[in-house]
Amino acid sequence: MADINVQALYNQKEREFKVQGAGLERFGLDFIAAVNRTARRINTLANLADQITPISNTESGTTLGIDEKYEPVVSDGVSLFMMKMGQRPVSGQETNMKTLKDEFEEGIGSIEYDIRNIAQLADTDDDTTDTIGLGALG
């Protein structure tokens, strides 16, 4: 499992949103806030056993503690929260916020589904940990 590279995500969002001159500092602060809001939403809704730790910078080597296969979900969340903070996508990249919100929440559902599948596959035949049946024995 490789974590999500924050600098790569930042560079992607820099291309996706209008960023010029003095707006770069605000953009960076909004990006960090959007990543952390996304992490909190995923932590809460996907019931992660290992919570995603908030970030404080976008420096090289900074990672977000969630498998990189979920990068599209994180990317959708970051875009959604950045738009809520007033950042606007470049021409041609506009996305309906409702659609983006729906895709983000659907992605969180997929993360939760993966977690449940992993737990189910790891479950033993010991009836005391039965998650499929009508209840545990004993």
Q: What pTM was estimated for this model as a whole?
A: 0.83
pLDDT in tens, 101-129: 999 999 999 999 988 887 778 775 555 55
33-80 pLDDT tens trace: 999 999 999 999 998 888 999 999 999 899 999 999 999 999 999 999
- Conformation bin of residue 47: beta by default, left when phi > 0, alpha when psi is -120 to 50: left
Q: Cα–Cα–Cα angle for 110, 34, 75, nearest 5°?
A: 40
Q: Interhelix angle for 71-84 vs 23-45, to 10°?
A: 120
